[in-house]
């Protein structure tokens, strides 16, 4: 009689233990699923960010490629112009007197020796003239812009060469206008003084 009772008591504990193990396993699976879901969400966000950066890089690449292609065409065009001008100078040079020939040859040699600071100055002046012409075309006021902001439809340039130079030009134009007004005021005062005499 004792054996069946012990057997019955053992069998009654087994389903409870099995039930506890199944519930624990389900909780672990649920936790792992939530962890994997969080990792998936994080990876998806990172993937979307990388895709956005990739499209932005592709856009910059296309822009720089077009710019490089345009500069390459312009360089070949300028090289061809220089070649033709050299040909014209070589044809005209024999018709000059010996003294003038030496002067022209010296001027041509000096013109060929362009230094990096001169190039930077020329590029800066051209950039300022280009920006001013676009600002006048857009009828925008010549006010200094905050660093990092670009006027609409202007090419992106570094703050040192572009915005500060443009701000300096704007302030110079403003000062020259004030000087002119001050000069006109002085002239009117002198005229009034002469009339009073």
Distance (Å, whole) CA 125 – CA 161: 10
CB atoms within 10 A of CB 167: 16
Two structure tokens written together for 90: 């070589």
Straight-line distance from the first to the last Cα atom of the chain, in angstroms, rounded to the nearest whole number: 147
- DSSP letter string over 103-166? HHHHHHHHHH---HHHHHHHHHHHHHHHHHHHHHHHT----PPPTT---TTPPP--IIIIIHHH
The DSSP result for 178-194, as a single string, is HHHHHHHHHHHHHHHHH
Secondary structure (DSSP) of 17-40: HHHHHHHHHHHHHHHHHHHHHHHH
Distance CA 192, CA 197 (A): 9
Give pLDDT tens digits for 121-147.
988 998 888 888 888 887 655 555 555
Query: Tokens 């292609």 label which residue?
Result: 69
Domain ranges of the chain: 67-112, 132-174
**What does the alpha-carbon distance between residue 12 and residue 164 come to, in Å, rounded to a whole number?**
87
The H or E element that residue 175 is part of is: helix 164-196
- Average pLDDT in the chain: 74
- Residue 173's nearest CA partner among 145, 132, 139, 137 is 132
Q: Look at the pTM and tell me if it is higher than 0.85.
A: no
> Cα separation of 104 and 96, whole Å?
9
Please check whether residue 111 is in contact with residue 138, taking contact to mean a CB–CB distance below 8 angstroms.
Answer: no
Length of the chain (residues) = 197
Tell me the per-residue pLDDT of 162-197, one tens digit each, with 9 for 90 and over.
444 444 444 444 444 444 454 455 544 445 554 444
pLDDT at 20 over 90: no
Is the pLDDT higher at 148 or at 135? 135
Query: Residue 22 half-sphere exposure, CB side, CA atoms within 13 Å?
Result: 6
């Amino acid at each position: 009689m004792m054996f069946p009772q012990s057997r019955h008591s053992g069998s009654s504990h087994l389903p409870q233990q099995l039930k506890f193990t199944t519930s624990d396993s389900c909780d672990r699976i649920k936790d792992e699923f939530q962890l994997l879901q969080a990792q998936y969400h994080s990876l998806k966000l990172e993937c979307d960010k990388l895709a956005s950066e990739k499209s932005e890089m592709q856009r910059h690449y296309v822009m720089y490629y077009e710019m490089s292609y345009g500069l390459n065409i312009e360089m070949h065009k300028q090289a061809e112009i220089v070649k033709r001008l050299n040909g014209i100078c070589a044809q005209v040079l024999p018709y000059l007197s010996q003294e003038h020939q030496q002067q022209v040859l010296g001027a041509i040699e000096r013109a060929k020796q362009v230094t990096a600071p001169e190039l930077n100055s020329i590029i800066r002046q051209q950039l300022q003239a280009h920006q001013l012409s676009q600002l006048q075309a857009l009828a925008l006021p010549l006010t200094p812009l905050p660093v990092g902001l670009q006027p609409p439809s202007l090419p992106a340039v570094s703050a040192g060469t572009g915005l500060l130079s443009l701000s300096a030009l704007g302030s110079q134009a403003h000062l020259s206008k004030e000087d002119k007004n001050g000069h006109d005021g002085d002239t009117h005062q002198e005229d009034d003084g002469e009339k009073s005499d």
